[in-house]
Amino acid sequence: MLRPRVIPCLLVRDKGLVKTVGFADAKYVGDPINAVKIFNEKEVDELIVLDIDATTQGRGPDYQMIEKLAVESRMPLCYGGGVKTAEQAKAIIGLGVEKVAISSAALDNPDLVSQVADAVGRQSVVVVLDVKRRSRDGKYDVWTHNGRINTGRSPAEVAAETERHGAGEIVVNSIDNDGQMKGYDMAVAAQVRDATGVPVTVLGGAGSLKDIGELVGRFGVIGAAAGSLFVFKGIYRAVLINYPSAHERDRVIRENL
């Protein structure tokens, strides 16, 4: 039976674990390998790891780091960062990663999604859409390269296109809500969910289990991803890798489904 997934999202910069606010002001919060070890003990549903500088710096995937993460991880692992070819995606899957995330490259070349799906299977292809709301009219655009380049395209349009090309999952990531810990952007989540038939994961803004409950209550079986919620604790944002117990997750999901 399908159920909502509660997913920590770890951002990596220079092999270190960081957390951003609005895709800026990256704060170092530790070693990603240590974080994976802790999440193993907490029986996490799934884990997303994104190398946030690979594309902007013109680098490919860091296979050495990916292999270390995959060897350590006892949960399904999704990796993204610098993936530009089907061969790179296949190599990442070969290291023991379950899913490969593509962002900028999928926008630049939608056929890449098809190529990766053919190489590793549609179920292993995740397209990440970084979205931002326009101040003038409240509509959304998809941005790339760490929120530096505006494609001028709507999340719904891009989600539908990437699904046609073979995406098995869409992650919609709110730039505006990133690190704010004030709740998810339900409006953009609804637009993407309505535009596609593949699983959708929402990222950006979760600050409590209540926020996850509200997302599940609105959309049912969905991926609820978060960064700050699972690496910080308390109003002073002290670094503490944490994750709700199975009982807490089940209660939140049961009360909202």
Active site (catalytic) residues = 130
Convert the chain into a string of H (helix), E (strand) and C (coil).
CCCCEEEEEEEEECCEEEEEECCEEEEEEECHHHHHHHHHHCCCCCEEEEECCCCCCCCCCCHHHHHHHHHHCCCCEEEECCCCCHHHHHHHHHCCCCEEEECHHHHHCCHHHHHHHHHHCHHHEEEEEEEEECCCCCCEEEEECCCCEECCCCHHHHHHHHHHCCCCEEEEEECCCCCCCCCCCHHHHHHHHHHCCCCEEEECCCCCHHHHHHHHHHHCCCEEEECHHHHEECCCCEECCCCCCHHHHHHHHHHHC
